[in-house]
């Protein structure tokens, strides 16, 4: 069973299908290695919470910072999805990406 509060990075193909999942607390070099290994130009953030899926200020800051830092490497942030309870929140669907 997955941790009730987790943060993962998903390496995506060009159609935004998941190719590989990484825990966000791992060394950033592993993320870059996975992007190179899978020849991917897309990354997504998937977050799991036991309560509400509504984003906190720290979630918004993380999304903006990661998106900005990926651009020079020609990597796009496809989405940041927060699952909480029986609901989910998508930054892309909300127009925040």
CA angle centred on 69, ends 63 and 74, rounded to 5°? 110
pLDDT tens for each residue of 23-72: 988 788 888 888 889 999 999 999 999 999 999 999 999 999 999 989 99
pLDDT of residue 54: 95
How many whole angstroms separate alpha carbon 77 and alpha carbon 30?
A: 17
pLDDT of residue 77: 96
Indicate the burial class of 82 (C-beta count within 10 angstroms; 0-12, 13-18, 19 or more): buried
Indicate the burial class of 39 (C-beta count within 10 angstroms; 0-12, 13-18, 19 or more): exposed
Q: pTM for this one?
A: 0.87
Q: Yes or no: say if 43 and 11 are a contact pair by the CB < 8 Å rule.
A: yes
Residue 83 has pLDDT above 80, yes or no: yes
């Amino acid at each position: 069973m997955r941790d009730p509060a987790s943060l993962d990075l998903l390496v995506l193909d060009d159609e935004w299908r998941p190719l590989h999942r990484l825990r966000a607390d791992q060394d950033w070099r592993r993320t870059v290695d996975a992007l190179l290994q899978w020849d991917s130009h897309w990354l997504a953030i998937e977050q799991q919470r036991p309560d509400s899926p509504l984003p906190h200020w720290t979630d918004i800051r993380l999304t903006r910072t990661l998106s900005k830092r990926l651009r020079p490497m020609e990597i796009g942030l496809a989405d940041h999805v927060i699952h909480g309870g029986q609901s989910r929140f998508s930054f892309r669907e909300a127009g925040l990406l």
